[in-house]
């Protein structure tokens, strides 16, 4: 269970890891702290990809977080669930990197790995 919780904690940090490059892209345009979301909507290229990675990190966190909570609540946390959680975190880190690097095929592949791991963790609870 400890591995699951550590992975959940790391997964909770990933949206903010993805947010760092957004701030860098915004700073290049002169950071608009009064209207940051409007400025983010005007980003292109690297900046737009960083925003998308940031948003997707929250979307993925919901599914992963619920899966981890479900497997723990069901009392079925096991080595398989822990392994899936570790693979999920690695896949999500790669996802952010591939998104920023504009490697769309690899990004989609690791996205699939991450979502599979979330559902595999939930399956352990059944």
What are the boundaries of each domain within the chain?
A: 2-125
pTM of the full structure: 0.93
Long-range Cβ contact pairs of 25-31 (< 8 A, separation 24 or more) = 25/50
Any idea what DSSP says for residue 33? Answer: S
**Where does the pLDDT of residue 43 fall: very low under 50, low under 70, confident under 90, or very high at 90 and above?**
confident
| Of residues 45, 59, 46, 80, the one with CA closest to residue 15 | 59
Q: For residue range 108-122, list pLDDT tens digits in order.
A: 999 999 999 999 999
**Where does the pLDDT of residue 29 fall: very low under 50, low under 70, confident under 90, or very high at 90 and above?**
confident
Say if domain 2-125 classifies as CATH 1.20.120.550.
Answer: yes
Structure tokens at 61: 């966190």
């Amino acid at each position: 269970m400890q591995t699951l919780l550590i992975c959940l904690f790391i997964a909770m940090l990933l949206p903010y890891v993805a947010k760092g490059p957004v701030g860098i892209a915004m700073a290049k345009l002169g950071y608009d702290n009064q209207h940051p979301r409007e400025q983010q909507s005007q980003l292109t290229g690297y900046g737009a990809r960083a925003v998308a990675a940031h948003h997707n990190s929250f979307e993925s966190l919901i599914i992963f977080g619920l899966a981890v909570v479900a497997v723990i609540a069901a009392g079925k946390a096991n080595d398989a669930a822990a392994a899936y959680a570790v693979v999920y975190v690695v896949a999500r880190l790669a996802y952010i990197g591939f998104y920023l690097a504009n490697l769309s095929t690899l990004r989609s592949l690791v996205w699939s790995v991450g979502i599979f791991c979330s559902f595999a963790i939930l399956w352990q609870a059944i």
